[in-house]
Amino acid sequence: MSLRLGDTAANFEQQSSQGLINFYDYLGDQWGVLFSHPADYTPVCTTELGYTAKLHDEFDQRGVKVLALSVDKIESHGGWIDDINETQQTTVNFPILADEDRKVSELYGFLHPNASETTTVRSLVIIDPNKKVRLIITYPASTGRNFHEILRVIDSLQLTDQYKVATPANWQDGDDVVILPSIKDEQELKERFPKGYQTIKPYLRLTPQPNKKD
């Protein structure tokens, strides 16, 4: 399956380290992060899952449910989770899908035959409360993900869904944002952006982040 931005994320049922998961039921009306791992007992994955567990409160504050995937068995997941907890000084507090039959991996395009015939690559999908795919990132197996970037993207998506703005390069929560070029009416600009704005070019206008207090 070729997954694209704006697609409806496919529902599925699959066993996990916390029992049978129905994906839609698991997400409910929250945002979701689904991310795949090449295999259990791999060093980079161990650090990724441990760090994700440490970010539990950050994801929770944003209304985000996290779900990991590996193609190994549930029994293997149990021992690996013990290792993660020990070596990363944390407690894995989210399910890891046991995608032994590759059902979910194939559904979401996590298998890249030119990279590996049998294991998933490091893919990550962000899904909004309407079950729409909003971000797809794929890393090579040798490179661990930057989860602060994932949080940054979620912050941007949630902000830009609420206001008619976009976030510029290297934006961090609290920085100025870009007013959409489609807004041209002066009265609308004043109503939407009471903090004012700076016109650099007619198509490039910056305004303080709308949902932040002065």
Q: Degrees (nearest 5) of the Cα angle 86, 92, 38? A: 90
Eight-state DSSP code of residue 148: H
* 107: β partners: none
CA distance 175 to 71: 40
137 neighbors 123 (Cβ within 8 angstroms): yes
Nearest one of 108, 134, 133 to 122, comparing CA atoms: 108
74 neighbors 16 (Cβ within 8 angstroms): yes
Nearest one of 175, 200, 174, 202 to 186, comparing CA atoms: 202
104 neighbors 97 (Cβ within 8 angstroms): yes
Nearest one of 157, 37, 183 to 97, comparing CA atoms: 37
Catalytic residues: 45
Handedness of CA 198, 213, 150, 50 (dihedral sign): positive
CB atoms within 10 A of CB 185: 9
